[in-house]
Amino acid sequence: MPITPDLIARTGLRLLNEVGLDGLTMRMLAKELDVQAPTLYWHVKNKHELLDLMAGLIVAEASDGVEAPGRNETWQQWIAGLARRMRDAMLRYRDGARVAAGSYSTGPSIGRTFELVLRTLTDAGFSTTEAARAFPAVLHYVVGFTIEQQARTGENYEGPNPYAQKMTIDETRYPLTASVTKELYALDSDDNFEYGLHIVLAGIEAVRQKAVP
């Protein structure tokens, strides 16, 4: 099989699950492809570009095969589905959110999906401007949530993950925090993601200028 930037990025993504982002090296990637490390630099400018390619693959995985909303599907349901796809794609790889966040990514399926988002929202009565400003808010929430989830879940600490330490809270100084500790530490459940997503979607609805009857 010939070595291509795409194959390199795909292999990098696979290795991510074994060694994490900080453990991923060009040499290891080369060995996985039965090639010497400098060979990679003929296909890829540098590691940063490789990470951008990996980010692009993650986003592409999320947006691949996305279809316009069904007849009985509200825009909220459809956008929520897209947000979940995005989160799932990032969760599929260790440190996936850190890789995907703020990396330059382009590609046919991404452009197509974005166009679909705009069309769905304008069909629902939003102006294109509203749509173009509201959708990134969803993405930013998704990325922020997932980065934190993976930081908490991940194995990036050699010793015990400090997140996992049972934080003892001074009940007299911080009574509310103490009373709510349970909710805070069941936080990696999908429920909290859905809760926040629901907030953002409800916010988009609430903020909309009701120009359409």
Footprint on this chain of a copy of itself (rule: CB under 8 A): 48, 52, 98, 101-104, 106, 111-112, 114-115, 118-119, 122, 128-129, 131-134, 136-137, 139-145, 147-148, 150-152, 156-157, 161-163, 167, 169-170, 173-177, 179-180, 183-184, 187, 192, 195-196, 198-207
Distance of closest approach, residue 182 Cβ to DNA, in angstroms: 34
- Of the candidates 16, 21, 26, 83, which one interacts with DNA according to CB under 7 A? 26
- When asked if residue 43 is in the footprint of DNA (CB under 7 A), the reply is yes
Whether residue 201 contacts residue 74, with contact meaning beta carbons closer than 8 Å, is answered with: no
Q: From residue 63, give the alpha-carbon distance in Å to each of 70, 158, 164, 172, 198.
A: 16, 34, 33, 48, 20
Distance of closest approach, residue 50 Cβ to DNA, in angstroms: 7
**Cβ neighbours of residue 105 closer than 8 Å, sequence gap 6 or more:** 52, 55, 56, 58, 59, 60
Span of 43-51, 53-61, 88-96, 166-174 interacting with DNA by CB under 7 A: 43-51
Q: From residue 168, give the alpha-carbon distance in Å to each of 171, 179, 180.
A: 9, 12, 12
- Of the candidates 32, 37, 110, 203, which one interacts with DNA according to CB under 7 A? 37
**Cβ neighbours of residue 117 closer than 8 Å, sequence gap 6 or more:** 79, 82, 131, 135
Residue 38 interacts with which of DNA, a copy of itself, none, CB < 5 to 8 Å by class: DNA
- Of the candidates 17, 36, 129, 209, which one interacts with DNA according to CB under 7 A? 36
Distance of CA 87 to the CA centre of its chain: 5
Q: From residue 138, give the alpha-carbon distance in Å to each of 65, 66, 98, 119, 179.
A: 20, 17, 17, 16, 30
Distance of closest approach, residue 38 Cβ to DNA, in angstroms: 3
Q: Render the burial of 95-104: b for 16+ CB within 10 Å, e for the rest.
A: bbbbbbbebe
- When asked if residue 14 is in the footprint of DNA (CB under 7 A), the reply is no
Distance of closest approach, residue 12 Cβ to DNA, in angstroms: 10
Footprint of DNA on this chain (CB under 7 A)? Answer: 2-3, 24-28, 30, 34-39, 41-43, 46-48
